[in-house]
């Protein structure tokens, strides 16, 4: 990005010798290269000087750490904060963060890449021209079943607050869905579409094992009080391809928009082959995240709102929707 300078990187784990006994070679190399360019590396926000110029803080920590990091960014004089989803573990914490940002005049955006991704944009545009249209969003990741323990532990806030929060943000932003406006929340309880699993948490042992419960896949349809409806499916083990389907008033598919498309998939396969430890979705989504960051940086330069980028207000409603949905899906699956 030619219109921004990176001044510092705060990494509380790799740069803390007590927590990380063996720093990965790739990270050590990055620190060495960027330090030579004048980028400061530290393990704590407290060790940074107060910001003197317009500064965007990109917070990409664990969700549980975000409220503390967010507060520290404001105290250091951030102009804008770009939070990775979902922003905070709970609605209450996110609301408190918004209040603090508002009182300090700090802009806050969330990294919801699907708000700007082309396949969603094309589906939304088509749906406006189809009478009685219904949109289905399907979000797939490519975890193997034996990788779910690590996935559950790392995303302990739960599937709807993590993976599916992107779709929740779409529902809030483009369909006007909020908890108060929901008339029906229908779950497809067939195990092929919605499945909950309890897993032994990694690094816990007998006689005191710890278990985690979360969704492997979910499928649900929301109908609002004004009669509009939208559907969401998600599968942690569903593969690399996600999509949006537009149907007409009779439920007939009009068009399906996939990501990645065939050309992009060839590119992703090559990147995965070169770096097999990287989850494929990082390669699939990288262009979207670049677009988000470009829009945020440009907005701060020009003193305007970032077009199409989710605000913290949208993030609050998306998180409320995720908490509501988690409760509804749990209730219906547990009752079976």
Q: Tell me: pLDDT of 168 over 80.
A: yes
Domains of the chain: 8-110 (3.40.50.720), 113-280+312-334 (3.30.360)
pLDDT in tens, 254-268: 999 999 888 888 888
Three-state secondary structure string covering the chain: CCCCCCCEEECCCCCCCCCCCCCCHHHHHHHHHHHCCCCEEECCHHHCCCCCCCCEEEECCCHHHHHHHHHHHHHCCCCEEEECCCCCCCHHHHHHHHHHHHHHCCEEEECCHHHCCHHHHHHHHHHCCCCCCEEEEEEECECCHHHHHHHHHHCCCCCCCCCCHHHHHHHHHHHCCCHHHEEEEEECCCCCCCEEEEEECCCCCCCCCCEEEEEEEEEEEEEECCCCEEEEEEECECCCCEEEEEECCCCCEEEEEEECCHHHHHHHHHHHHHCCCCCHHHHHHHHHHHHHHHHHHHHHHHCCCCCCCCEHHHHHHHHHHHHHHHHHHHHHHHCC
pLDDT attached to residue 305 = 95
Place of tokens 């219109």: 3
Mean pLDDT over the full length of the chain: 94
pLDDT attached to residue 263 = 81
Q: Tell me: pLDDT of 1 over 80.
A: no
Percent of the chain with pLDDT over 90: 83
pLDDT in tens, 299-312: 999 999 999 899 99
d(CA 80, CA 105): 9
pLDDT attached to residue 228 = 93
Q: Tell me: pLDDT of 7 over 90.
A: yes
Q: Are the beta carbons of 197 and 231 closer than 8 angstroms? A: no
Most confident of the ranges 116-120, 134-138, 210-214, 332-336: 134-138
Provide mean pLDDT across the span 220-224: 98
């Amino acid at each position: 990005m030619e219109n921004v300078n990176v001044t510092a990187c705060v990494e509380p784990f790799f740069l803390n010798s007590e927590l990380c006994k063996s720093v990965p070679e790739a990270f050590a190399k990055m620190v060495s290269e960027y330090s030579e360019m004048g980028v400061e590396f530290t393990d704590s926000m407290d060790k940074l000087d107060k910001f003197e110029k317009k500064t965007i803080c990109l917070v990409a920590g664990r969700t549980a750490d975000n409220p503390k990091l967010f507060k520290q960014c404001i105290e250091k004089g951030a102009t804008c904060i770009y939070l990775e989803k979902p922003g905070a573990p709970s609605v209450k914490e996110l609301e408190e963060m918004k209040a603090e940002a508002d009182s300090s005049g700090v802009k806050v955006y969330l990294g919801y890449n699907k708000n700007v991704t082309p396949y969603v944009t094309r589906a939304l545009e088509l749906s406006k021209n189809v009478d009685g249209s219904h949109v289905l969003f399907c979000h797939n990741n490519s975890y193997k079943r034996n990788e779910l323990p690590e996935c559950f532990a790392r995303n302990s806030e739960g599937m709807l607050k993590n993976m599916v929060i992107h779709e929740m943000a779409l529902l809030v932003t483009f369909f006007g869905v909020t908890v108060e406006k929901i008339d029906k929340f229908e779950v497809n309880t067939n195990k092929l579409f919605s499945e909950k699993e309890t897993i032994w948490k990694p690094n816990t042992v007998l006689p005191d094992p710890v278990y985690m419960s979360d969704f492997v896949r979910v499928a649900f349809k929301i109908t609002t009080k004004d009669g509009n409806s939208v559907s969401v499916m998600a599968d942690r083990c569903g593969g690399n391809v996600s999509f949006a389907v537009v149907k007409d008033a009779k439920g007939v598919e009009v068009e399906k928009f996939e990501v990645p498309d065939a050309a992009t998939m060839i590119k992703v396969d090559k990147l995965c082959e070169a770096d097999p430890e990287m989850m494929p979705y990082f390669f699939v989504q990288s262009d979207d995240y670049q677009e988000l960051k470009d829009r945020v940086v440009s907005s701060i330069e020009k003193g305007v709102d970032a077009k199409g980028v989710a605000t913290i207000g949208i993030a609050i409603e998306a998180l409320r929707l995720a908490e509501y949905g988690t409760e509804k899906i749990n209730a219906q699956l547990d009752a079976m």
